[in-house]
A and B are shown apart, each in its own frame.
Chain A
Amino acid sequence: GENVEQHPSTLSVQEGDSAVIKCTYSDSASNYFPWYKQELGKGPQLIIDIRSNVGEKKDQRIAVTLNKTAKHFSLHITETQPEDSAVYFCAARGQAGTALIFGKGTTLSVSS
């Protein structure tokens, strides 16, 4: 089955810097890759996703890139702000009928 690895587990940046979180997946049939942000005491919030027929997607300060050959995808946050501090989870969906498989999460801390 699918396996998703996420790095780093913790990331500390200064306000205004960029942050990059990387995930690798094992199932070459995986075709959907969402990213979730989870703030303390809240449920995960879908912030951006990408499908296997696209290499990059942007939404304001957030972007996701996908390299199908290498089987990895990354979340890029530019001009980080303290409110970006949260746990970020990547996920992958494999073949039809299977559920999302989550990475172990990255705790991002943005200091002002």
Chain B
Amino acid sequence: DTEVTQTPKHLVMGMTNKKSLKCEQHMGHRAMYWYKQKAKKPPELMFVYSYEKLSINESVPSRFSPECPNSSLLNLHLHALQPEDSALYLCASSQRGTSAYYEQYFGPGTRLTVT
């Protein structure tokens, strides 16, 4: 089973709201990722957690705050977003951290609209 689940599937939020995206995997993977994907573009890496520690932060604005409560869960907390943050937010996981080339599996994404 190579399933990564994400909730919610769709989210509409105002610029003053606070919301969270959730990602879960039960494959025993120890690396988890957040990507942002705009229409007709490839995924852009935002954050990487390896063994529940933040290992890569691709200069993402502080209005995006990741959290990894345990090895199976990954959250992305959103606050004071801008309309240009509207995108598909993808979670992914891989067996090990970024030190090895293990397969990376994506979830279905959360379609975020900021109004």
Query: Within residues 23 to 41 of chain A, which ones have a CB less than 8 A from any CB in chain B?
Result: 31-32, 34, 36
- Interface residues on chain A, number (Cβ under 8 Å): 23
Give the contact-size bracket for chain B. 20 to 34
Min CB distance, A28 to chain B, in Å? 15
The number of residue pairs between A and B whose CB atoms lie closer than 8 Å in the complex comes to 52
Q: Which of A31, A32, A34, A102 contacts B42 (CB 8 A)?
A: A102
B99 and A97 contact, CB distance less than 8 A: yes
Please measure, in the bound complex, the distance between the C-alpha atom of A98 and the C-alpha atom of B56, giving whole angstroms: 9
Residues of B with C-beta under 8 A to A32: 101
Is A22 located at the chain interface by the 8 A CB criterion?
no
CB nearest neighbor in A for B103 = A46
Please measure, in the bound complex, the distance between the C-alpha atom of A98 and the C-alpha atom of B97, giving whole angstroms: 10
Is B109 located at the chain interface by the 8 A CB criterion?
yes
CB nearest neighbor in A for B110 = A43
Min CB distance, B111 to chain A, in Å? 8
- Main secondary structure, interface of B, reads loop
Is A72 located at the chain interface by the 8 A CB criterion?
no
Is A73 located at the chain interface by the 8 A CB criterion?
no
Min CB distance, A55 to chain B, in Å? 17
CB nearest neighbor in B for A94 = B101
Q: Which of B43, B56, B58, B99 contacts A102 (CB 8 A)?
A: B43
Please measure, in the bound complex, the distance between the C-alpha atom of A42 and the C-alpha atom of B99, giving whole angstroms: 28
Residues of B with C-beta under 8 A to A49: 103
Residues of A with C-beta under 8 A to B55: 97
Residues in chain A within 8 A of chain B (CB atoms) = 31-32, 34, 36, 42-46, 49, 51, 87, 89, 93, 96-100, 102-105
Residues in chain B within 8 A of chain A (CB atoms) = 2, 4, 6, 33, 40-43, 45, 48, 55-56, 58, 90, 98-101, 103-109
A-B contact pairs, 9 of them (CB 8 A): A43-B108, A46-B105, A46-B106, A49-B103, A51-B101, A87-B40, A97-B55, A98-B98, A102-B42
